[in-house]
Structure 1
Amino acid sequence: MLTKDIKTKIVISTSVDPYYNLSLEEYMLNNVEEDEVILYLWQNANTVVIGRNQNPWKECKCKELELNDGKIARRLSGGGAVYHDLGNLNFTFVASEALYNLEKQLKVILKAAQKEGIDAQFSGRNDIEVNGKKFSGNAFYFTKTSAYHHGAILIDTDISKLGSYLQVSKEKIQSKGIDSVQARVVNLKNLNKAITIESFKMRLKESFKEIYGENSEEYILNEEIFKLNELYNKYSSWEWIYGESPSFDISFKNRFTWGDIEIGLTLKKAYIQKAVIYSDALNSSLILRLGDVLEGINFDVSKICEKIRYLSTEFGEDEIINDIYNWMKSKVLQF
C-alpha cells in the first residue's frame, strides 16, 4: 500500500570519499522536511568507519590501513566498526521524527533482496542475514526532530581486508559462536552471481518507490555540485576521528548483550576530572551523556551509580542504564 501526502527523494552520491559522504548524510539529517523521507545511496573506498563512541586504535589496525591508502572515519551513530570498499553499497533512510519507521525501512531492504532471489531476515539488534550469515549491519541516530537509519550491504566486498583491518575482540567473536569475523558474514554475490552494485541499487530504488510512493525525485550529487566544506572539515579532522586519548587513572571494562563498554576516568584530588566512554552500543546519545554526567563528581562508586540512575530521567527505563548501574554497583566492594 502506497503512502500518500509525503515527499520522497532518492539521493545518490558519486563520491567515494567517506568524509564527503558522511557530511552529506548529516546535512540531510539536519535539513529533512517534516513531510519528507529520503533514501540515500553511497559508497566509500577502502575505509574503516567506526561508531560514534569507539576507540579507533582498539577497533582498527590504523597503521596497516594507512599504509594501504585507506581512511578511518567516525560516524554519528553508535554500533561497531565496519569496513567499506567498492564491493559494498551503503544506504541511509533520513526522515523527520514523525515519519521514521524502522519496519518500513527494513522492508525496503528485504524486498530489494527478495527481488534478487535472496530470502533475508532482520536478526538480533541490528543485522540483516541470510542462512544465519550477516550481509548488512544497521545503525541508527536520532535528533529531537529527525532521525536516520543506515547500513552497509555486502555485495562483492573484499572479505580478507575486512578481517585484516578490523580488530574484533575474542569475547565478541566467542559470544556469537564463531571462529572469526569472516565466518560471520557473506557477500550476496556468493548467493547469486548475477547481483551487482548497480542491480542492487536499482532494486532498492524500486522497493523504495513501491513502499513509499512512485513519485520520488532522484538526485545525483558529487563534491563539485554540492559542497559541504564545514561538515567535511569536521569529519576529516583528527579531533573528530581520533579524539582525546588521555591516560586514565582507572578503567572499567565489561561486555553486555548490547555491546562492549569501557569507562575511563581521569582523577584529580579524588574528583573525576575527565570521563571517556568507549562503546559499540547502538544508543550513541546515551553513551555520550554518561561521560557528561560523571565529570566533576567525587570518585565514589555510590555517587557514580546515582548519576547513572539519573540518566533514566532523560532516556527512560533502559536496558543499557540498568546493566551499567548494576555492574558499577557491584564495584562498591572493591573501593
Structure 2
Amino acid sequence: MQNNFKLKIIKSLSYDPWYNLALEEKLFYEVSDNEILLYLWQNKNTVVIGRNQNPWRECRYNELEKDGGKLARRLSGGGAVYHDLGNLNFTFIMKKNFFSIDRQLQVIINAVNKLGIKSEFSGRNDIVTDEKKFSGNAFYYDGDRCYHHGTLLVSADMTKLAKYLKVSKEKIQSKGIKSVKSRVINLKDINPMLTIEKLSDALEESFTEIYDCNISERIEKNADTDINEINNIYEKYSSWEWRYGQTPKFQIEFYKRFHFGDIELLLNLKNSYVNEVVVYSDAMDSSLVLDIKKSLHGIKFTNEDIINKLETLKEKYDNDIIMEIQKWIMEKKL
C-alpha cells in the first residue's frame, strides 16, 4: 500500500538557538498537507524556557550570559532545558491528520534501542532509561498544524546544566529527587561509543521504519545563507521582549505547584479591578496559560469574579485542571 505522505529531514548547521527556533517556526507554518518533517538541530550553551515560563525563576541568566551563553524562549509549553553540543534536538512537524505522539515517540525509542539502550516514555513529557531522564518533550498546536520537539542528552555538560537551571523545591519534592543533576543522564554514560552523528543516523533509520516510507528529501540549512529568509522571525526570538518580557512590580503574587505544572499568578489592581496580569507556568498546554491571563484581565478582584471567569474555560480545557485552580483561588479568601 502506497503511503499518502512524504518524509523529509531538515538539518540545521547553525548552533544559534534564535536561528534554530526561528527556522522551526518557519517550517511549522510552511509544512505541506502531505509532509511529515523531522528537523534535527543543536544549540551551543543555551537555556531554552517554555512559552509561559518566568526566566528569573527558571534560569541563572546572569551567569549564563557572562559565560557567553544565550537564553531562548520557545513556542511550546513545558519546562526549562539546557542545550549544548552534547545534546541533539528533534522536531516532528506535520498537519493534524498525521500527528500521533505515540508514533513520534516510537521513532525516538526505536532509535535509542538500536544503540543498545532500553528506554520508555514516563510522566507527562520525559523519555527515560533506568528511571533517569535523557529526553524532555513538548508540543505545540496552531489550527491544523502540530509539532512535537524534544532534547536528547548524549554527552551534555551536566555541571553547566545544574549551574544555569534553577529548579524549584516544590518541583524537586513532587518528583522525589535530590537535585536536577540526579534525575538526568547522558546516553553516552550507557553506550560510551555513542556520538551525535550515530544518534542522528539511528533517528533517520528509525523514522523510515516507523512510518514505513523512504526519505523523499534531505535539506541542510545554514544561518549564513538563510538568515534573510527568516529575519523577522529571528528578530522576535532574539528580542528582549520575547525572551524576558515586561516585569513591572506586582501588588499580588500567588504561586502553587499542581500535578500538571506550576502556576505563578502576578496581578496589579486599580480601583479593585485587575488591570495587569502575568501568568507564568511550565504547564504543557501553553494555550491554557494564555487563556487564564486573558480571562482575568479587567475583572473585579474577588473570589467570585475570578471563579466565574475560570468557569468559562471548562468548555475548552480539562474540568479537573480548572477546578484545581478554582479551589486554589478560593483558599486565598480574597
TM range (shorter): over 0.9
- How far the C-alpha of 1:65 sits from its partner, in A, is 0.5
Q: Are 2:242 and 1:224 equivalent residues in the alignment?
A: no
State the Cα distance separating 1:318 from its structure 2 match.
4.1
Query: If the length of structure 1 is used for normalisation, what is the TM-score?
Result: 0.97
Match of 1:300 in 2: 302
Deviations 1:133-191 (A, max 9, x none): 00000001100110110001000000010001001011111211111100000000000
Q: What's 1:197 paired with?
A: 196
Aligned residues of 1:22 and 1:235 also touching (Cα < 8 A): yes
Question: Conserved in 1, the CA contact under 8 Å of 2:125 and 2:137?
Answer: yes
Give unmatched runs, 5+ long, in structure 2: none
1:140 matched to 2:139: yes
Q: Which residue of 2 aligns with 1:10?
A: 9
Partner of 2:326: 325
2:268·2:276 contact (CA, 8 Å) conserved in 1?
yes
Whether the 8 Å CA contact 1:16–1:45 is kept in 2: the answer is yes
**CA-to-aligned-CA distance 1:267-310 (integer Å, 9 cap, x gap):** 01111001100100000111011101110111111111111111
Cα separation, 2, equivalents of 1:262 and 1:319:
19
Distance 1:3 1:311, change over 3 A: farther
User: In structure 1, how many angstroms separate the alpha carbons of the residues matched to 2:89 and 2:62?
Assistant: 25
Comparing 168-177 and 149-158, the one that deviates more: 168-177
Structure 2 SS opposite 1:254: strand
1:82 & 1:27 partners in 2: Cα distance? 22
| 1:9 counterpart letter in structure 2 | K
CA apart distance, 1:91: 0.3
2: CA distance, partners of 1:102 / 1:142: 12
Secondary structure of the residue that 2:225 maps to in structure 1?
coil
Alpha-carbon distance between aligned partners in 1 of 2:216 and 2:118, rounded to the nearest angstrom: 26
Take 1:3 and 1:24, find their aligned partners in 2: how far apart are those partners?
30
Between 174-183 and 16-25, the greater mean CA deviation after superposition = 174-183
Any idea what SS the aligned residue of 1:109 has?
Answer: helix
Within 2, Cα distance between the matches of 1:3 and 1:70? Answer: 46
2-side partners of 1:171 and 1:100: how far apart?
33
Q: Is contact 2:139–2:284 with CA below 8 Å preserved after alignment?
A: yes
CA offsets 1:27-72 (integer angstroms, 9 cap, x no match): 1111111221100000000000000011111110011111100000
2:288–2:317 Cα contact (<8 Å) kept: no
Find the residue that maps to 2:249 and give its secondary structure: coil
Where 1:311 maps in the other structure, the secondary structure is: helix
Give, in whole Å, the separation in 2 of the partners of 1:283 and 1:320: 11
Instruction: Give 1:210 deviation, angstroms.
Output: 1.2
Return the offset for 1:322: 2.4
What is the match of residue 120 of structure 1?
119
CA contact (8 A) 1:209 1:216 kept: no
Q: Which amino acid aligns with 1:174?
A: Q
Deviation track 1:1-25 (CA, whole Å, cap 9, x = no partner) reads: x871102210000000000000011
Q: Contact 1:3/1:211 (CA < 8 Å) preserved in 2?
A: no
Q: Map 1:210-289; keep pairs closer than 5 Å.
A: 210-212=209-211, 213-227=213-227, 228-289=230-291
The structural deviation recorded for 1:259 is 1.1
Percent of pairs identical after alignment? 52
Q: 2:166 maps to what in 1? A: 167
- Equivalent pairs counted in the alignment come to 331
Q: For structure 1, which runs of at least 5 residues remain unmatched after alignment? A: none
Counterpart-to-counterpart distance in 1, 2:320 and 2:246: 28
8 Å contact kept, 2:40–2:91: yes
Q: Give secondary structure in 1 for the equivalent of 2:210.
A: helix
* Equivalent residue runs for 1:99-114 within 5 Å: 99-114=98-113
Once residues 156 and 108 of structure 2 are traced to their aligned partners in structure 1, the CA distance between those partners, rounded to angstroms, is 18
Tell me the equivalent position of 1:96: 95
For residues 53-105 of structure 1, give each alpha carbon's deviation from its aligned partner in whole angstroms, at most 9, with x where no partner exists. Answer: 11111110011111100000000001110000000000000010111110110
Give the Å deviation of 1:247. Answer: 1.1
